Amino acid sequence: MTHPTLTGAEILWATLVGEGVTTVFGYPGGAILPAYDALRKFPIHHVLTRHEQGAAHMADGYARASGKVGVAIATSGPGATNLVTGIATAMMDSIPIVCITGQVSSKVLGSDAFQEIDITGITLPITKHNFVATRPEHIAPMIRQAFQIAASGRPGPVLVDITKDAQQGTAIFNFDEAVPAPYRPHPMLRAESAEMHRAIELMRASKKPVILAGHGIIHSGAEHEVVAFAERYQIPVATTLLGLGAFPASHPLALGMMGMHGESWVNHAIQHADLLLAFGMRFDDRVTGNLASYAQNAKKIHIEIDPSEINKNVKVDVALIGDLKEVLRTMEPLIHDKNYLADASTNNSTSDWLREIRSMKGDAAVRDIINLPDNGHLYAAHVINDIWQEARAAGRLDKTIIATDVGQHQMWEAQYFKHEDTRTLITSGGLGTMGFALPAAIGAKIARPDCDVWCIAGDGGFQMTAAELSTIVQENLHINVAVINNGFLGMVRQWQEAFYDKNYACSPILSPDFVKIADAHGIPGAQVTQRKDVTPTVTKSRTGQTAFVINFAVEKEDGVYPMIAPGAALHEMVRRPQKDPLLETAEDE
C-alpha cells in the first residue's frame, strides 16, 4: 500500500480525523495559517471563537460533557498565551484536551521574531506534556501521542506547538505507523493484594463509614460500581463539587456536597465517621478545612489513579493505587470470598449510623428554602431551585447540562440543583476560572446537542467572555443563559463582609443591560425580578428554538451558607444568621 505525501498542515488534519475528531475550536493567525488553508480538505468542523481563552474552555466543556478529548487551536504569540488560562483550568480539573499552536518558522526560533513566544516553556507547569514539531514528519506521531497522553491515566491537557515551516513542508503520511508505543501505566498502578485485605479489614471493623465520591469516579466510568458498592454495604456517600452527578442526588444513601460550602450534616458526618473511603478525590483544601482537625477519628482508604496524590494532603491508612473501576471490581470478590463483611441489611451498627446522619439532616431540613413564603425578594437560590424543578417537571433532568461560572452562583447551583446523572455539571473546580461558563456551555452543547444546556453565570464572570454570544449565533446553538445579577462580585463581597469589616473595596460592579447586549448579538432575552416569573421564563427559554438570555436581578447582599472560614475545621461552619429570611439547606423532599 502506498502512502500519500502531504504537507505538514494536511498531516495535522488527517491525523485528527484518524483520532476521531469531528470538531475543533480555534482562532486563526499568521503562524497557523497553513493549517487553516488545508482545513477545507478534511471533514472537521471548526468553531470560530471570539477569543482563544474561549477556545480552550470550549474544548474543555466538550471533553467534560462527552468524555472525549477536546481540541483547541491558536496561532503563535498572543494567540498561544491566550490559551493559558484554559489550559490551566483543564490541568487543575484533569480534563483531556489537546491544544495545537502555530509557531514561527524554525529558522528564526529564538530570535524574538514577530509573535514568537516560548509557549512550551510557559505551559510546562500546566500540561501533562508538550511537544514542538519542527519538521512535517514529526506532526503525526506527536499528535497521536498527545491524544494518548491526554486521555490515559489521570487525564489532562497536552500542547503541540508546530512551526510554520513544518506545516508547509511535505512528508509521507502513514497514520498507522505514527501510532505511539502502548500506554504503560505507572508501575505503582496496581492495587496490592495485602492492601486490599487491609482495606477490607478496616471496612469490617467500621461502624460509621462514609464514601467520599470525587471526580475520578466520572473519569473511571465507575458510577455503576460505586452505586452498587454503596448499596451492598449501606455506606452513605458524600460528594465533592466535581463529583456531583457521579452518585444520584436522590439516592437514599446520597448525603450531598461536602466541604467549604457543603451541607452541614455532610461535614458533620465526615467529622464523626470512623472510616472514610475516598474514591477518586484528592483531599482538596476546600473539602477538608483545617487538616489538623480533619476526620481525626476516621481510618482512611484512598483509591486513586495518581500516586502523587497519596498522602499529599491527608495521610491515609490504606492506599489502593489504580483505576477506580478496576480496583472495585478486584476488591468485590475478595470481600465475599473471605466473608469479611456481614450482610449490610442486618448490620445494626450501619443502620444506627444512617439514622444518626438522618437526624442531623432533619435538623437542618426544617429550614427548607422551598417552605419559605414569597416575600417579594428574588434570591439566587430560588432561581437555581426553580430551574431544577422545571427540568424535573419536564422530564428532562437526565438531559440537562449546567455549565457554571465561579463564585456564589456556582455554590448555589451545587446546593440547589440536584444532579442525578454523570457529566451534567460542568464547572471550574481547582482553578476557579471566572468566564468559564459561557464558552464551556458552547463546547457541551456541541458535544451533546440533544441536551438542554444552561450557562449559569454571575454578572462579573459573564462579562469576561460575553463576546462568545456571537459564537452561539454563528453556530446556531440553542443555549440557555441565566445571569445571576446581584451588582457585586458576589463571593468577594461575602468575604469582605465576613472577614474585612464590610469594606466592599472594588466588589460593586457596573454591568450593561444584558438583555440589550443579547439583542445586539441577535439573541432574545428577558429581565426577571420576581420569583413568580422565574419558571415561566425558564420554560420559555428551554422550549424555544434559539439561544435565550435571562437577567435575574437577585438580592444584592445575599450570602452562601454554610461556609467554613479560612483555617477553621470542617465542622466549624458559619451558619446563615437566624434573622435571615433565606434558609440554607438544599433538602427538598
Residue 181: CB atoms within 10 Å = 7
Render the burial of 361-379: b for 16+ CB within 10 Å, e for the rest: beebbebebeeeeeeeebb
121 in Cβ contact with 127 (< 8 Å):
no
Task: Give yes or no: 115 in active site.
Answer: yes
Residue 109 DSSP one-character state: T
Task: Give yes or no: 491 in active site.
Answer: yes
Q: Tell me the H-state helices in 206-297.
A: 216-220, 223-233, 264-272, 285-288
Sequence-separated (6 or more) residues with CB below 8 Å from residue 18: 144, 175
Q: Write down the catalytic residue from 42, 115, 356, 475.
A: 115
Residue 14: CB atoms within 10 Å = 21
Task: Give yes or no: 208 in active site.
Answer: no
C-alpha cell of residue 400: 440537562
Task: Give yes or no: 52 in active site.
Answer: yes
Residue 152: CB atoms within 10 Å = 16
DSSP secondary structure, 38-95, as one string: HGGGSS-EEEE-SSHHHHHHHHHHHHHHHSS-EEEEE-STHHHHTTHHHHHHHHHTT-
Distances in whole angstroms, Cα of residue 42 to Cα of each of 34, 46, 63, 101, 180:
14, 11, 21, 19, 23
Decide: helix, strand or coil at residue 255.
strand
The single residue listed with the C-alpha cell 426553580 is 386
Q: Any idea what the Cα angle at residue 402 is, between residues 58 and 406, rounded to 5°? A: 75
Q: Write down the catalytic residue from 68, 128, 164, 208.
A: 164
Q: What are phi and psi of 315, to 5 degrees?
A: -75, 130
Q: What are phi and psi of 87, to 5 degrees?
A: -65, -45
Q: Residue 532: is it exposed, middle or buried by C-beta count within 10 angstroms (0-12/13-18/19+)? A: exposed
Q: What are phi and psi of 218, to 5 degrees?
A: -70, -45
Q: Tell me the H-state helices in 234-323.
A: 264-272, 285-288
Q: Write down the catalytic residue from 41, 114, 556, 557.
A: 114
| d(C-alpha 574, C-alpha 466), whole Å | 34
CA torsion through residues 426, 242, 584, 555, sign: negative
First to last CA, the chain: 65
82 in Cβ contact with 122 (< 8 Å):
no
Task: Give yes or no: 114 in active site.
Answer: yes
Q: Write down the catalytic residue from 91, 464, 491, 573.
A: 491
Q: Write down the catalytic residue from 10, 19, 25, 52.
A: 52
The single residue listed with the C-alpha cell 422565574 is 534
Q: Which residues are catalytic?
A: 52, 114-115, 164, 491
